[in-house]
Structure 1
Amino acid sequence: AQHVGIGSDLDGGFGTEQAPMDLESIADLQSLTAILADRGYSPADIEAIMHGNWIRRLNEIWS
């Protein structure tokens, strides 16, 4: 989970086959936290995936 980041560009431009199975549109992104928890991800891993990894990486680049 340390090298995964979620982008919010699920606009359908690449077709639904490129989106995760449980997400049919950008509106479903709010369900991702619960989906990850149901699949056994820890709260720390979910936080990293949802935003922490992006923040960490951007800080590394911009430092």
Structure 2
Amino acid sequence: MGGLWWWVHARSARDIVETFAETVVVEDPGRLADAPTWELTEVDIDDRDDLALQELRAQRESQ
């Protein structure tokens, strides 16, 4: 099992799930405390030009 991981800047976790298909938001404080060591790419939910998330955004919009 695997997946792709990003640090997404958004107004809320709900906005992330409603914007991108096949998305899970990590909200556990213990896991988030370790996040700085994950070396994640940071993206902004409002950046529609971000190629990494365009497919997930388009999939959600088609739903």
Bin the TM-score by the shorter chain: under 0.3
- Structure of greater Rg: 1
TM normalised by structure 2 equals 0.26
- In terms of fraction of residues, the more strand-rich structure is 2
TM normalised by structure 1 equals 0.26
